[in-house]
Structure formats: C-alpha cells, structure tokens
Structure 1
Amino acid sequence: MNDAQTVPPKFKILFDTDPGIDDAMALLLALVSPEIEVVGVTTVFGNSHVEATTRNALNLLNLAGRPDIPVAKGADRPMVRPRGQTGEFVHGDDAMGNIGWTAVHNPDQKPLDIPAAQFIVETVMARPGEITLVAVGPLTNVGLALQLEPRIAQAARNVVIMGGSVATPGNVSPVAEANIHNDPHAAALVFGAGWDVTMAGLDVTMAVRMDEAFFAALRRSGNRLAQFIGRIAPFYQQFHRERYGYPDGGVDTHDPTAIAYLIAPTLFRAERWSVAVPLDGPAMGATIADRRGLFWPGPKVNCLMGADAPRVLEMFRVRLTA
C-alpha cells in the first residue's frame, strides 16, 4: 500500500480560494498530501471574478481526478468596499496562465446550490473541532460566514490564511498584501474572532522562491499534475520578472506556503501577536502586529516569520513529481 492509503489525514480542510496560478499549486499540493483531506472548496473573487475562479476550481479538481469534492461559489465583491482591480494581470485572462480555460471541462461538475458562506457554516458546524479553514484569497467568504454564524469561531479546528505581512513591504501598497487589501473588513473580522489563526504572509511567501530550474524539473517529470504546473507557470514568471526584476524565472511561493505549513510546521518560525487591520487611509489592508505586546489586548495570531525555503521547495517538488 502507498502512504495515502495507510496514513490517516491529520487535517480535514475546507479550502477557500481564488484560482489563480499559485492557488492551483496549493490545491494540487493538498490533494496529493496524505496528511490532508480536502472536504470542500469555496471560491471568491480576487485573481479574477468569481465565475472564473469557480470554473478554475472545478477544472482543477477534475484534472486531479477529484470531481467528487464539492465546490461552493462565493462572493464576487468585498463585504463593504467596492471591488478593486482583479488579478488577471498577474495570472492571465483565464487566471490560469492564458492556457485557454474558458469553460468547465466536465459537464457533470457544477457548484453547489448554496453560497460559499453558508457552505462554510454548515460544514464547520456539522463537524465541530474537525475542520481547518484554509483561505488563500480575500477573506470575504469567511467574514460572511462569521456574520451568519459566529459560533464557527469555536467550532472550527483552526484557520490558516495566506495573506498579510508583518515586516515585509506590501505587494499592492507600500504596507498591504493583496488578499487582505481586497477586503480589509472581512480580514478584521477573521483576525478578531478569537479562533486559532495562522497567517502565512509575505514574510515567508516571498522568502520561498521557485525558479525556472524548479519548473523545468516539474515539466520533465512523469506526473501530469507537476507538468500542469509547469505549463501554467510562464505567465506568472513573466509578471515577477517585469514587476520585481526577479532573475532565472523566479516567482514567490504564496498560496502553497499555507499548505506546506499544515504538512510540516517545523519548517517555519512563528511569533504570536495581536494584529489590527486598518479599514481606510494609506494603510488600508495592512496587518499591523503588536510586536511589543503592550498595546492591544486582542486575540493573538500565529504569524509566520521565517521558513526553511530549500526544504519547503523540496517537499513540494517530491510530492508533485511522485
């Protein structure tokens, strides 16, 4: 028997996502990892509008041979503010590297008839203490779920988000990371709800960098999921080359880092601080941590501040090329 048959999953995750190239990497990593059982996927605006991110989520599950996993379509705009620019300039017109994903490939796959926030509430409340919410897009669906049923903060096992930054400059403003900036009101609700939150922000995601040699190894492998990641990567690589001047086809490893933390938390260094999110002004969407522990009595957030980048990348490569 292989490991996936013999090792019971440590985490049952509800994956909230806006696929997105790095979202695809994260979801595929979760699906091939025996430590993780993906019990559902919820979609949100961000890297594109929600119709496109929902289509991409369905197609990714079909690609991975898991069309049985339910998908619930979620919010297409923030809770309070108008929706800003979506991320096609980073991820391509189809948000999947311009590979031509314009339709759902499997006609039998359809999203659920209930919105994502309701699906989150029903899933968490039906299995108290079991569900880990992994959110790698704007936090709108999770914020709406908290408004629908505040008790999910006690019923969820924990929450892991890709978003925010403590000490690293922002990627959509001098101080803000994109997912938090896209819906700061939702983020403020999530950070203040009192549940166990881990923030995999730019402090670690920009310190773990895939390069052209990494993607070439994926393309050479006999694994179709690895080959798919190699196929969608070039648009993402071009963005990083033009935006940040990264050499050698380098890209930041954003969303997969949240999954890597669940699989191997010892590869990361974390600090626990209270976090505030400004809702307007020049610092809108920043994640300000009380690193002295003197000023804010609010709930503590597990902020990832360092990573063993070579081991994180090796884990990803080995699992996707097996």
Structure 2
Amino acid sequence: MTRPLRLLLAASLAALVAAANPAAAASPAVSPAPKAAAKVGPKASGKAADNRVMIFFDNDFLGPGQSNIQSMIPLLRDPRVNLLGVGVVTGDAWMTEETAHLLRFLEIAGRPDVPVYKGSPMPLLRTQAEMANWEARFGRIPFKGAWNAPRPGRTYHPDEPDLVPPLPEGAPTIKPRHEGAVEALVAAVHAHPGQVTIVAAGPLTNIALALRVAPDIAQLAKEIVIEPGKLDTAFARTTSNTDYSTDFNFLFDPEAAHIVLTAPWKAITLVGNVSSSVRASPEVIAKIAASPSPVARYFKTYARTGQPLWDEITVALAIDRSLVTQDLTVRMDVDTMPGMHYGEPQVWPEETAPRTGVRQVHLVRAIDADRFLSGFVGQARQ
C-alpha cells in the first residue's frame, strides 16, 4: 500500500470511528456522568488555582502497578496540577482491562472523582495479523502489548479484547464516564484555549482521532508532551533488555504517531531515550514502601523491580519543565512506508529536514534525575 493511500485510509477510518463514538455507546460497564462533576485536581482557590498546570492525560494502563499506573501518582499528589481528565487507549493491554486497573487504583489512592474516559480499542490501521506478517519478514518484536501471547504469571489475552480477568488488586466499584476519551479531550481543549497540556504516554490513537474530529485542538492546546520516540536503540536491543529498548508506542500505531507529529501544535516535547534513565530500583521501592499510605503499599506490592520510570518521568516533565537539563530541537516524523522501518521515528536537523509538514520537536536528552526521583518518592509516600 502506498503512503498516500495509507494516510487517506487512516484519516477516513479515524473520522468514522470518531463519528460513531463507540466509547460512549451504552454498556453495562459505563455510567452517565453526574450532573455536577466533582472538582478534579488538588483543592485550591484564588490565584493559586489559576497557576496550576492544566493536564489531560492519555495512556495505556497496563496493571496493576508498573509505569503506566504509577504515572498517575504525580498527577494526583502534585499541588501544581489541575487534572482535567484521563483517557485510556489500547496499547500495553486492552483498553477495557486497562480501564479497570486505573479505576481501582484511583479508589485506592482516594481519588474516585478523577474523570476516566474509555478511548480507542484498536490502532488506526495496524492489526495483530499484519504485525505477525511483519515479524516473519523483519524479525520478532518481543513486546506486543495487547497482542502478546499468553504466558505464565501474566494475563495477556490477545484474542479477547473485551475480557477483564480477575484483578489482583480487586475489582473497582467506580465507573468511567459516559463520554469517550476523544470527545472529552476535544471538550477540555475547547473549554480552556491556550491552557491545556496534553500528555500522551501510550500509543497516540486517541490523540490522532481527536485531531481528525477537531483539527483546531493542535493550535488551541498549550502543548503536547509525548513519551515514545526512542532513537538509535539497535545496539541497546542487542546488549540490554530488548523490551526496554523497543519503541512500542510508535510501533503499535505508526499512522497515529504520524498524524500527531505532523499536526500544527504550538509546541511538541518528546521524552524519548531519557525516559529510561531512572528505574524502580530495590532502593527506590524500599523508600516508598516504608510509608504506611495506601499508595505506598500499592507501589510496594505491584511495582516491577528494575523497570524504567518511563511514564512517571514524562508526567513530571510536563508539570515542571525545569527538570530538563538538556534538550535538542529537531524535526521528526514516523515511517509509515511498508518495510523494516515501519513505525520507527525519523529525525532531521533543521537544515536537512524535508519541507513536507514535519514539525519542530523539543527532544529531551537529559534531566535532573535526583530531583525527579526525590519528588516522585515523596509523592508516592503520601
């Protein structure tokens, strides 16, 4: 399939999915939004509330624990945050199961008021069968998220997207909102023009669909902060943990990544390789576990030792940009052509970049890891 045809198909499919709004369809698992939604974010009044960072967070919440769920901790505990809503997208696991894990964590954290919105259950174009065909030609992708084969000790169910296995942490009693994630994101940006930071730490399907429904959100949002985009990781995949060096978020939905990266945002910040710079070491887990709080106990029970704090770092940088100690301005896109580089990010310096819609991206290269870790540990102990 040629690139123009693939992109045309992606755009058409996105418009159809958004028009149908399947996330808002009636379902026993979904309840209508209350007439008066509870205030979200830390309580604040007067000028202090106006200075908080407005965030709409979109992620694939594999659970329990691990980086996806743990990234909610700064959003819930940092008083500088006004969390407008959380969208869920299929990626590391199926969207329905991810939603259940997220809702249960919010109960444990004492924040059932946070609005959760179900998003896209599938990538725009990529399918499980197509990925298998790609692997047969170009080599195995070790981590395939929701499409992982069943394995001992894990709950992967690649052929049952609506299945929610028994949750180790217990089933939630709260429900997601009636509106879908795409609808909620568009509404949030329209309601607060120039103020909303969109943080996307999973596949970019929901964000791409929102751009197809309401292209103006790219100009109306304050910025978008993205956590895929790992570069030059071939050697790391050979010598280190292959799963930790593979850019799953782009690979799972390359067309969505292309749509998002080429939209006319005011600012795009990409947290790529640096998101692997700090890990959930035994020492970090022990420090958090010393607290008796429900969130600390949850972290102790379900954190994956040695896993990079990918999404936690991304959220922290969206809240406090002073944590960035080095960045680089580049032009970036994602390869959507059939072949071995399908789904990989492509970057150029300004002087050699193509003039076909690729945008400037602020690529974070280094952070104040000690200050980030100190802040995160303190928040997780609350």
Report the TM range for the smaller structure's normalisation: 0.7 to 0.9
Displacement of 1:148: 0.7
What percent identity do the matched residue pairs reach? 28
- Structure-2 change in CA distance of 1:319 and 1:173 (3 Å): closer
Tell me, yes or no, if structure 1 residue 130 matches structure 2 residue 199.
Answer: no
Give the counterpart letter for 2:155 in structure 1.
Answer: D
State the secondary structure of the residue aligned to 1:252: coil
Offset from partner CA, 1:87-121 (integer Å, 9 cap, x none):
577994289xx961463x22xx2222232112211
Which shows bigger deviation, 63-72 or 129-138?
63-72
- Between the aligned partners of 1:263 and 1:132, the Cα distance in structure 2 is 9
- Between the aligned partners of 2:341 and 2:291, the Cα distance in structure 1 is 44
Give the counterpart letter for 2:270 in structure 1.
Answer: M
Cross-structure match for 2:9: none
Residues 289, 381 of structure 2: 8 Å contact kept: no
Residues 99, 232 of structure 1: 8 Å contact kept: no
Offset from partner CA, 1:15-73 (integer Å, 9 cap, x none):
11111221111111211001111111110111210111111121122222221221110
Offset from partner CA, 1:217-261 (integer Å, 9 cap, x none):
11111332122112111xx33xxxxxxxxxxxx221110011111
- Between the aligned partners of 1:293 and 1:186, the Cα distance in structure 2 is 26
Cross-structure match for 2:281: 211
Matches within 5 A, 1:157-176: 157-169=222-234, 176=246
Cross-structure match for 1:152: 217
Cross-structure match for 1:86: 145
Offset from partner CA, 1:176-235 (integer Å, 9 cap, x none):
50111111100111110020111111x1111122201110111111332122112111xx
Tell me, yes or no, if structure 1 residue 54 matches structure 2 residue 99.
Answer: yes
Residues 138, 179 of structure 1: 8 Å contact kept: yes
- Between the aligned partners of 1:255 and 1:321, the Cα distance in structure 2 is 18
Displacement of 1:132: 1.2
- Between the aligned partners of 1:224 and 1:296, the Cα distance in structure 2 is 51
State the secondary structure of the residue aligned to 1:209: coil
Give the counterpart letter for 1:308 in structure 2.
Answer: D
Match of 1:275 among 332, 347, 361: 332
Give the counterpart letter for 2:332 in structure 1.
Answer: V
- Structure-2 change in CA distance of 1:166 and 1:291 (3 Å): farther
State the secondary structure of the residue aligned to 2:340: coil
Q: Alignment length, in residue pairs?
A: 301
Give the counterpart letter for 2:379 in structure 1.
Answer: R
Match of 2:114 among 69, 74, 82: 69
Larger Rg: 2
- Between the aligned partners of 1:57 and 1:33, the Cα distance in structure 2 is 18
Cross-structure match for 2:58: 16
State the secondary structure of the residue aligned to 1:80: coil
Segments of 5+ residues of structure 1 without an aligned counterpart are 238-249
- Between the aligned partners of 1:288 and 1:179, the Cα distance in structure 2 is 14
- Between the aligned partners of 1:63 and 1:94, the Cα distance in structure 2 is 24
Offset from partner CA, 1:124-164 (integer Å, 9 cap, x none):
11221121111111100000000111011111111111111
- Structure-2 change in CA distance of 1:173 and 1:26 (3 Å): closer
- Between the aligned partners of 1:91 and 1:138, the Cα distance in structure 2 is 24
Cross-structure match for 2:162: none
- Between the aligned partners of 1:27 and 1:99, the Cα distance in structure 2 is 18
Tell me, yes or no, if structure 1 residue 288 matches structure 2 residue 346.
Answer: yes
- Structure-2 change in CA distance of 1:116 and 1:263 (3 Å): closer
| TM-score scaled by length of structure 1 | 0.85
Moved over 4 A (4+): 3-7, 87-91, 169-176
- Between the aligned partners of 1:94 and 1:317, the Cα distance in structure 2 is 30
Cross-structure match for 2:366: 306
Residues 229, 271 of structure 2: 8 Å contact kept: yes
CA RMSD of aligned residues (A): 2.7
Residues 208, 312 of structure 1: 8 Å contact kept: no
- Structure-2 change in CA distance of 1:209 and 1:190 (3 Å): same
- Structure-2 change in CA distance of 1:285 and 1:110 (3 Å): same
Cross-structure match for 2:300: 230
- Between the aligned partners of 1:99 and 1:74, the Cα distance in structure 2 is 20
| TM-score scaled by length of structure 2 | 0.72
- Between the aligned partners of 2:43 and 2:176, the Cα distance in structure 1 is 27
Cross-structure match for 1:245: none
Give the counterpart letter for 2:86 in structure 1.
Answer: V
Match of 1:259 among 312, 315, 329: 315
Cross-structure match for 2:290: 220
- Structure-2 change in CA distance of 1:78 and 1:94 (3 Å): closer
- Between the aligned partners of 2:156 and 2:296, the Cα distance in structure 1 is 19
- Between the aligned partners of 1:174 and 1:65, the Cα distance in structure 2 is 31
- Structure-2 change in CA distance of 1:52 and 1:299 (3 Å): same
- Between the aligned partners of 2:207 and 2:332, the Cα distance in structure 1 is 17
